[in-house]
Structure 1
Amino acid sequence: MKAPFFLFSIVLLSILSSCGSNKELQERAPAQFNEVYYSQTENGLNLYIPVAVIQENRVKLESVYFRGMHSALNLDAEKPNLYVASFATGKGDKIMHEDPKEEYGNKAPQAPKESPFKIESDEAILVFKQNEKTKYYKLTGIEERN
């Protein structure tokens, strides 16, 4: 009686643990990208992902990990195929005052969030949904532009 229960428990635990660790990088890009780049701003940096071709009915670009931070991707209002992620590094001008009410409006730096995969400083992890499944793709060769 104990042996079947023990065996069933082991099988159940192995199934449950394998579901949670199913993160793997996709080798095929979810879309055709032009050169990915970033630029420094007063309050942080912006990562730009220009998309040449994407199957919008099957693929949805959601977020990105870059330089120890995580941010949602938004479609640029002026450029229809440009996705932008904004990261607040907190390097902009700060108002320091003895009255804390005067400091209202200071932006806090973005909390660090570790990427699910090891990446270099010129790489980012793109998080996207394809057919309702979350997938990951590594973007490489990201350069700074002004």
Structure 2
Amino acid sequence: MKLLKQILFLCLISLMMMSFSQCASTFKLEDSAPLEIGQVYYKNWVAGVKGGGSGINVFIPLLSNSKNIELDSIYFRGKAVKLEKNKRLYIGRYALSANQNRDIIMSSDPIAEYGNLVPEIPKKIPFELKEDECVVRYNEGHKIKYYKISNIIKQESLKYPSTPQNSQ
């Protein structure tokens, strides 16, 4: 009986150690790029109307395609977003809190405050990144992998006009 308890205890310990080792390898960064990636850059943008919003768009141009690799998400400046694909260009769109309509109703009547939005609590990303770095999450076959991109270039900001310009 004592031997059976020891064997069971060792099995449980090894099972726990194996489960923790999976967590450590989940966010392992790959050494080489999964595809030929061009110069990655980002642009800030601001809407031309009050409350129209602002944000950052990160652009990842591909120089080659692969059928079994699909870029999924990007981690940049403490946030993660899904990537949009446009032919050979992936775009990560980050909304910022500047230039947003944030009307908050404060009242002693709880029903009057019904339309207020709950403040968004930022989630901590699992990577320590500099201002000019991002991590791309991609799928290779059925495996999820991560690749770090450095030296991201900032291009001139986009300022959208509030009204169409008259061309004369």
TM-score over 0.5 for the pair: yes
Distance 1:68 1:114 in 2: 7
TM-score, with length taken from structure 1: 0.83
Structure of larger gyration radius: 2
Aligned residues between the structures: 137
- Identify if the C-alpha distance between structure 1 residues 121 and 109 changes in structure 2 by more than 3 Å, giving closer, same or farther: farther
- Listed one character per residue, the Cα deviations across residues 52-107 of structure 1 (whole Å, up to 9, x for unaligned) are 1121x21010000000111100013xxx2111000011212537598xxxxx9xxx
- Identify if the C-alpha distance between structure 1 residues 37 and 91 changes in structure 2 by more than 3 Å, giving closer, same or farther: same
Does 1:44 pair with 2:44? Answer: no
8 A Cα contact 1:30 1:54, kept in partner: no
Q: 1:122 is aligned with what amino acid?
A: D
Does 1:144 pair with 2:154? Answer: yes
- Which structure 2 residue ranges, 5 or more long, are not aligned? 47-53, 106-114, 157-168
- Identify if the C-alpha distance between structure 1 residues 39 and 110 changes in structure 2 by more than 3 Å, giving closer, same or farther: farther
RMSD (CA atoms): 2.6
- Which structure 1 residue ranges, 5 or more long, are not aligned? 99-103
8 A Cα contact 2:65 2:88, kept in partner: no
Alignment partner of 2:33: what SS? Answer: coil
8 A Cα contact 1:88 1:110, kept in partner: no
8 A Cα contact 1:90 1:109, kept in partner: no
The counterpart of 2:39, out of the listed 30, 35, 44, is: 35
- Identify if the C-alpha distance between structure 1 residues 95 and 65 changes in structure 2 by more than 3 Å, giving closer, same or farther: closer
Alignment partner of 2:99: what SS? Answer: coil
Bigger mean CA offset, 19-28 vs 131-140: 19-28
